[in-house]
A and B are shown apart, each in its own frame.
Chain A
Amino acid sequence: GNSVTQMEGPVTLSEEAFLTINCTYTATGYPSLFWYVQYPGEGLQLLLKATKADDKGSNKGFEATYRKETTSFHLEKGSVQVSDSAVYFCALSAVSGNTPLVFGKGTRLSVIA
């Protein structure tokens, strides 16, 4: 079946450091891929998405590229801020039907000043 594996946290970085959170997936066909972010005390919100191979999703300085050959969708940001401290979830959506999103377990990021 479909699955998502993302790096375990927590990840602690200093402000302005470079961020990478790894995400790999297993799926049949060509799924859509997502990164969701959960700030403290809130629900999840969509950060970025990519719907086909080689697409790059970007938002708020974050980027991720859909790599079919390596089945990966790693999240990157060139210079993190304290306000980026949150839990990040990688997810995929199967190609067809109403099947629910499949989520990774989440990676907690803490950015210190």
Chain B
Amino acid sequence: DVKVTQSSRYLVKRTGEKVFLECVQDMDHENMFWYRQDPGLGLRLIYFSYDVKMKEKGDIPEGYSVSREKKERFSLILESASTNQTSMYLCASRVSYEQYFGPGTRLTVT
């Protein structure tokens, strides 16, 4: 079974902190994605990556950056967390057209 893991299920951070969300997949997938999920807005794509050291902006990249130094790991970085970044963050990896999701990290910024 494909497995996508995320470093934390729940996270509470203060405004202005630098926040790292980690995602690891175990199936050698080239494509990885970060989404945020908010009530009434569905899934919104933040960043994605086709390969190591490659990244592409999604629909809402502002306030975020990413890092992909190894194929299996895709990190989302909030350089200076703000309260409007309180959300559920979902990581996914993909082979062909089938996408596999991690369990999500619920981030609260206070």
Q: How far is the CA of A2 from the CA of B103 in the complex (A)?
A: 27
A28 at the interface (CB under 8 A from B): no
Given A43-B90, A44-B90, A89-B43; A101-B99 close (CB under 8 Å): yes
Given A43-B102, A43-B103, A105-B40; A100-B97 close (CB under 8 Å): no
Q: Convert B47-59 into 0s and 1s, putting 1 for each residue whose CB lies closer than 8 angstroms to a CB of A.
A: 0101000000010
Given A100-B58, A105-B42; A42-B104 close (CB under 8 Å): yes
A43 x B4 contact (CB < 8 A): yes
The interface residues of chain B, by DSSP majority, are classed as strand
Given A43-B101, A43-B104, A46-B99; A100-B33 close (CB under 8 Å): yes
A103 x B43 contact (CB < 8 A): yes
In this complex, how many residues of chain A approach chain B with their Cβ under 8 Å: the count is: 20
Q: How far is the CA of A31 from the CA of B41 in the complex (A)?
A: 23
B98 at the interface (CB under 8 A from A): yes
- Out of A45, A51, A98, A103, name the residue touching B42 (CB < 8 Å): A103
Given A43-B90, A43-B102, A46-B98; A100-B48 close (CB under 8 Å): yes
A57 at the interface (CB under 8 A from B): no
Q: Given the complex, which residues of A lie within 8 Å of B48, measured CB to CB?
A: 100
A49 at the interface (CB under 8 A from B): yes
Q: Given the complex, which residues of B lie within 8 Å of A36, measured CB to CB?
A: 101
Residues of B within 8 A of A (CB): 4, 30-31, 33, 40-43, 45, 48, 50, 58, 90, 92, 94, 97-104
- 26 intermolecular pairs with C-beta atoms under 8 Å apart: A36-B101, A42-B104, A43-B4, A43-B90, A43-B102, A43-B103, A43-B104, A44-B90, A44-B92, A44-B99, A45-B100, A46-B98, A49-B97, A49-B98, A89-B42, A93-B97, A98-B30, A98-B31, A100-B33, A100-B45, A101-B94, A103-B42, A103-B43, A104-B42, A105-B42, A106-B42
